Chain A
Amino acid sequence: MSDRGTSGKKIGDVILDVQNISLRFGGVKALTDISFDVREHEVRAIIGPNGAGKSSMLNCINGVYTPSEGSITFRGQQFDHMNSRQVAEMGVARTFQNLALFKGMSVLDNLMTGRNLKIKSNLLLQALRWGPAEREEIQQREFVERIIDFLEIQAHRKTPVGQLPYGLQKRVDLGRALAMEPQVLLLDEPMAGMNVEEKQDMCRFILDVNDEFGTTIVLIEHDMGVVMDISDRVVVLDYGKKIGDGPPHEVRNNPEVISAYLGASH
């Protein structure tokens, strides 16, 4: 189980820098003074026990929550808080822990919504299916078909997402995020509730995305084994505080991490 820093993959400069983020809900401190950075093309994991603040962290980056203190720098631009839509426009896509797919819509339509930002023709042209709008729709569709092939969900193209089994829904969720051609992909527990086989598939997809498209991946995960296998660097949170940060083998041997997170099971 070596970490992948040695695989010869080119890791670039810092693309996302989180500085001293604190988040409070009333009296509850969800996050306290968290700082870490994410480099281009790497797989960065955020781990921690239940309630450690992992999802809160992701939601701050994604603009769902507004941090009480601290700032986030994305591509050199500093923000006190992010705005969901803005974040999407800047090339950050996310998936959800509790799936947030458009359940009544087909797999294809779900993925096509991910292309929304890429559609430039105006409403009237779309309605009339006028020349450029029609061509554009076809281009988007081609792109989405590539993702469908990539995620091996060809057979479910027209199925309403709500009818698919859980593992496949997770895959569609990933696909919708990929349809945005993101530079940074935020994955909120992509393997939660999956069986071993589904987890393996998902790992493979994540690594392929990272390798083939060079997408930077920030991933929250519960399953320690999985995280250690696929990530380049790991942040460990516990009770809203950062207790470890570094390559997997380092984090694994960090005594604080062992006592807080791995506990007796290690």
Chain B
Amino acid sequence: MAFFLETLIGGLMAGMLYALVALGFVLIYKASGVFNFAQGAMVLFAALAMARFSAWVPELTGLDHFLLNNFIAFALAAALMCVVAWAIEQWVLRHLVNQEGATLLMATLGIAYFLEGLGQSLFGNDVYKIDVGMPKDPVFVLDSVFPGGLLVNKEDVISALIAAALVVILSLFFQKTGTGRALRAVADDHQAAQSIGIPLNRIWVIVWCIAGFVALVAGVIWGSKLGVQFSLATIAMRALPVVILGGLTSVPGAIIGGLIIGVGEKLSEVYLGPFIGGGIEIWFAYVLALVFLLFRPQGLFGEKIIDRV
């Protein structure tokens, strides 16, 4: 029982991180109808920026305050992501208003490779570490209930809490503010949104900034766990099944989808692995996503699209 719970918790924590990346997809899709292939590259770019800035800031300022240095580096990285957002709007999106979804998708694919390249030329292609002071030591909890207690990673718990907080804030923002409403309107129909005077360009900058910020948080968490390296960009591919599962337009869907896939991966690896061979973790999410595509293409929480014929 304790082992099952440990696996479950491990899965939930991993799922929360998937959810964070998936959230980036959902945000941009909701607000601009663009499936942003560059989300993974943005995570990598943001993590690289954070890693380098946190090394450069103490060198330049001579400050010897760990938290303050990290905070400055984080703020700089966030600002950089906003610059990226602005540049993407200025040089790519603005010129593709009212284009087909496939055109926009290809554009984001281009952005993805460009960002990966730019990240490497700006920050180098070594493997970096991000150290924001996350506690690395595992703790044992509930040892009164289970013999020996449950092994839980403190870092995972903190990451999950941060992710959860971010999700709550974003959901409220989308549902409860005028700007959130304008964002949803733009997502629904560009032309109509323009006709009622919603500034498309500004909305896009805002939403790409938010997605950049989410990418930064995801990048920092993943980076401090696994180190910042090129493969970080591919975690976006791991988040694809999550958005299919949760629905492209649903913020809660991204979370639940992430959790299901995180847990599913771990449990199937541990409990099915011995029977059908290891490596389930690698393909489990995709097969699950396929099943969803067949039976519930709009995902768990996505909007079902019914067209008048």
Contact = CB atoms under 8 A, between A and B. Distances in A.
Interface of B is mostly: helix
Contact of A85 (B189, B200, B206): B200
Contacts of A20: none
A264 interface: no
A117 B178 contact: no
A105 interface: yes
Nearest to A94: B195
Given A104-B249, A105-B188, A127-B173, A88 B196 contact: yes
B193 A113 contact: yes
Given A116-B178, A126-B179, A127-B177, A85 B184 contact: no
Interface in A107-131: 109-110, 112-117, 119, 123, 126-127, 129
Contact of B192 (A96, A104, A137, A180): A96
Contacts of A115: 178
A166 B309 CA distance: 12
Contact of B196 (A116, A129, A162): A116
Interface in B28-59: none
Contacts of B194: 84-85, 88
A192 B173 CA distance: 37
B303 interface: yes
A104 B29 CA distance: 14
A41 interface: no
A88 B306 CA distance: 30
A88 B185 contact: no
A207 interface: no
Contacts of A153: none
A62 B193 contact: no
B149 to A, nearest CB: 41
For chain A, give the interface size range: 35 or more
Interface in B184-212: 184-185, 188-189, 191-200, 206
B182 interface: yes
Given A85-B194, A100-B192, A180-B197, A105 B173 contact: no
A162 B189 CA distance: 13
Given A119-B178, A126-B177, A93 B185 contact: no
B176 interface: yes
A23 interface: no
Interface string A74-104: 0000000000110111000110100011111
Given A84-B195, A123-B206, A180-B197, A104 B178 contact: no
A94 B193 CA distance: 11
A176 B196 contact: yes
A85 B178 contact: no
Most chain A beta-carbon contacts within 10 A, residue among B173, B184, B192, B206: B192
Most chain A beta-carbon contacts within 10 A, residue among B178, B179, B195: B195
Contact of B197 (A104, A117, A127, A166): A117
A7 to B, nearest CB: 30
Contacts of A137: 178
A238 to B, nearest CB: 27
B92 to A, nearest CB: 19
Contacts of B197: 85, 88-89, 116-117, 180
B136 interface: no
A157 to B, nearest CB: 15
Contacts of A100: 189, 191-192, 195
B181 interface: yes
Contacts of A101: 188-189, 192
Contacts of B196: 88, 93, 113-114, 116-117, 176-177, 179-180
Nearest to B200: A85
A168 interface: no
B251 to A, nearest CB: 13
Contacts of A140: 178
A114 B306 CA distance: 24
Most chain B beta-carbon contacts within 10 A, residue among A101, A104, A123, A140: A104
Interface string B204-238: 00100000000000000000000000000000000
A103 B188 contact: yes
B184 A102 contact: yes
A116 B306 CA distance: 27
B195 A105 contact: no
Nearest first, the 5 closest Cβ-Cβ pairs linking A and B are A88-B197, A100-B192, A102-B188, A84-B194, A126-B177
6 contacts: A84-B191, A89-B197, A100-B192, A101-B189, A109-B181, A127-B173
Given A84-B194, A123-B206, A127-B172, 13 more contacts: A84-B191, A85-B199, A101-B189, A102-B185, A104-B249, A105-B184, A112-B181, A113-B181, A114-B196, A126-B177, A129-B176, A140-B178, A176-B196
